[in-house]
């Protein structure tokens, strides 16, 4: 057999060694997944109110809408702990289709104001007041960022501990003495969408007087954190 040059021989030995290391790296590897989850009370309330009006004069209509929004914002600013954001605003023509004709009859405009607070009682009472001027668009509940971060950090620790316990159990069941962690991925279940209030409750709230404060049940939302990875049984 023809002898290999020294450089080629060294390269061949290096490739064989690399192949052996690669084989050892993938030997006795097990994929595992563990998860920690909990139901977190929703502590953030969002309310969307709107005004919708119609007039033949678009400039006059815009002025009426602006005045209604400004009045609502002024009332909302007097309540501590309520964040105010202007929502969408749009207008469109209203046509009369009688006698097969298309005549411009008026303009219709709609504008929203969005309110958010962790003080449910204050926002509920404010909403009751504003329903004398505006209409209810939606009401929903979610988890505040501060609460989410605190709970996710705790869940992260729980998920890692659960992964470690599962890895030890698997290694023991397979007759191993210990295990090495090859890689680990940490992830969450994503942000659950805000929970809307049932339309029946919204309707009852709309019928309440400005003095009334309806009871609010925000409910809970489930948040999960997972630990998924591969171990090598020793």
Residue ranges of domains in the chain, CATH in brackets = 43-143+194-220 (3.30.70.2970)
Q: Which residues of 127-164 are buried (b: 16+ CB within 10 A; e: fewer)?
A: bbbbbeebebbbbbbbbeeebbeebbeebbebbbebbb
The model carries a pTM of 0.69
State pLDDT tens for residues 9-22: 545 555 554 555 55
CA distance 153 to 63: 49
State pLDDT tens for residues 57-116: 999 999 999 999 999 999 999 999 999 999 999 999 999 877 777 888 899 999 999 999
Residues contacting residue 17 through CB under 8 Å, at least 6 positions apart: none
């Amino acid at each position: 057999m023809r002898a290999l040059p020294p450089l080629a021989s060294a390269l061949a030995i290096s490739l064989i060694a690399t192949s052996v290391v690669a084989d050892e790296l993938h030997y006795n590897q097990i994929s595992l997944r563990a998860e920690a989850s909990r139901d977190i009370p929703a502590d953030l309330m969002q309310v969307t109110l709107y005004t919708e009006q119609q007039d033949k004069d678009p400039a006059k209509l815009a002025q009426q809408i602006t005045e209604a929004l400004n009045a609502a914002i002024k009332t909302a600013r007097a309540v501590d702990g309520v964040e105010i954001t202007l929502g969408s605003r749009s207008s469109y023509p209203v046509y009369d289709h009688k006698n097969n004709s298309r005549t411009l009859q008026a303009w219709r405009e709609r504008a929203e104001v969005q309110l958010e607070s962790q003080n449910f009682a204050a926002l509920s009472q404010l909403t009751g007041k504003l329903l004398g001027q505006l209409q209810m668009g939606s009401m929903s509940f979610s988890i505040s960022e501060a609460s989410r971060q605190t709970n996710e950090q705790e869940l992260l620790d729980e998920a890692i501990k659960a992964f470690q316990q599962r890895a030890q159990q698997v290694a023991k069941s397979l007759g191993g003495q210990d295990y090495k962690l090859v890689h680990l991925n940490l992830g969450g279940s994503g942000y659950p969408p805000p929970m809307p209030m049932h339309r029946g409750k919204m309707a009852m709230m709309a019928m309440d007087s400005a003095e009334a404060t309806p009871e609010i049940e925000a409910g809970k939302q489930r948040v999960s954190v997972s630990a998924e990875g591969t171990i090598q049984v020793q």
